[in-house]
Every structure is written in structure tokens, then in C-alpha cells.
Amino acid sequence: MSKLRVPFDRAVGLALEIKNRLDSGCKRIEVAGSLRRRKPHVGDLELVAIPLPHGELFTQRCPDEDLDALLSRLISDGVLHNPQLCGPKYRKYESARLAGLFLDLFLCDVETWGVLFAIRTGPAAYSKRLVTPTSKGGLLRNDLKVHRGRVWEPLDGIARLGSLAEGEWRALPTREERDFLELCGGWREPERRGGGQ
């Protein structure tokens, strides 16, 4: 069965509407995936967001601006329907306007934004290379590891095999996509990100 492909212009309009309507419930939200790479046809809508915490101090937020409430409003307004997954890091909904087109909403925090936004921009083969060391054909510096959305460096400068042992590794700041990509050979415009590059 072939996956639905929607022209860029139709898909980006819907993605931007959803992004704008969810914005007040997020510290940050951006379009990712094939839309960000400006592909002529897309198979899904991908957004990456940092939700505002429930009851965050020092905000003038109304309770109805909570991300879950905003998503519920998109359903009641006939923009989305048929929730597929509703976890703490990932939500999936079907578009009520373009049947067969799904919204993938990836949720993260400030510390994991840079890695997640780069990976979710894709494409898949390029994203895999971002988390693979150069010694294994990837783009990531050999002395680093990516684990749970963070980039880790050994404290003594010597990379070890195996899991990340507490006290032996430190997380590098990758709050922006550019910070992460600098550890992977440098910035590349989303439109120029291909699997073999």
C-alpha cells in the first residue's frame, strides 16, 4: 500500500495553521521533516515542540492554553481527529481535512531541542548519520555519543565502549540545532540534507 503524498503547498498551510494554534502552549514549536526540507510532496506533517510545563511560574497563561487543551480544541474544530498515540514525548493525530495525512508531534525540553530538531528534520538516512561516529561512516565526532536526546563527551577525553557511566561523561550544550550540527561536520541547510551526505 503506497503512502499518501500531499503537495507541499497544501500540507504547509495546514502545518502552519496547527503550529500557530499550538504556539501559546509551547515555549517553542517549529515545522520539521519533509516540509522543512521543502520537498514537493510530503507524506506527513511533523512538528517539534517544547511544551510549557503545567502551572509554569511567572506566565500569564490561561488554563485553556495548555498544550493538551489546544490539541483538544483542534479536534473539536475539525482540524485533527482520530488520535493514534498520546505519550509524553510523541503524539500522533490524523488530519480531519486531508484524510490519510498524519500529524507527528514530537515533544522535548530545552536541553534536547537541538538534537531532536535536527533528527526530526531528516531525512532518515541523514539523521542516522548524525548519531553515528565518523569511524562507522557517520557524521558525529568519534569521541561523542548521542543518548536520550543529548550529546555526551567523556570527561577524560577518552571514549569508551558500552553505556554511559555516571561521572565519566558530561552532556554538551546542544540547545540549538546548529550546536549539534557543529559536532557533526557543520551546518547544512535543511533542503540540502540527503541520506548520503
Helix (H, G, I), strand (E, B) or coil at 49: strand
Structural class in CATH, domain 6-107:
alpha beta
- Confidence (pTM): 0.89
Cα dist from 178 to 32, 103, 181, whole Å: 14, 25, 5
User: What is the pLDDT at residue 1?
Assistant: 37
Residues contacting residue 14 through CB under 8 Å, at least 6 positions apart: 45, 79, 95, 97, 98, 101
User: What is the pLDDT at residue 65?
Assistant: 75
| Residue 152 cell numbers, joined | 555526551
Name the H helices within the chain. 8-22, 33-36, 67-76, 113-121, 124-130, 177-182
Helix (H, G, I), strand (E, B) or coil at 148: coil
Low-confidence residues in the chain, pLDDT < 70: 1-2, 54-64, 157-167, 195-197
Domain boundaries, the chain: 6-107, 111-192
User: What is the pLDDT at residue 194?
Assistant: 82
User: What is the pLDDT at residue 59?
Assistant: 53
User: What is the pLDDT at residue 128?
Assistant: 97
Peptide bond into 123 cis (omega under 30): yes
Q: Are strands 44-51 and 102-107 parallel, antiparallel or unpaired?
A: parallel
Sign of torsion, CA 165 167 169 171?
Answer: positive
User: What is the pLDDT at residue 108?
Assistant: 97
User: What is the pLDDT at residue 169?
Assistant: 87
User: What is the pLDDT at residue 167?
Assistant: 66
User: What is the pLDDT at residue 21?
Assistant: 97
Alpha carbon 169 to chain centroid, angstroms: 24
User: What is the pLDDT at residue 161?
Assistant: 54
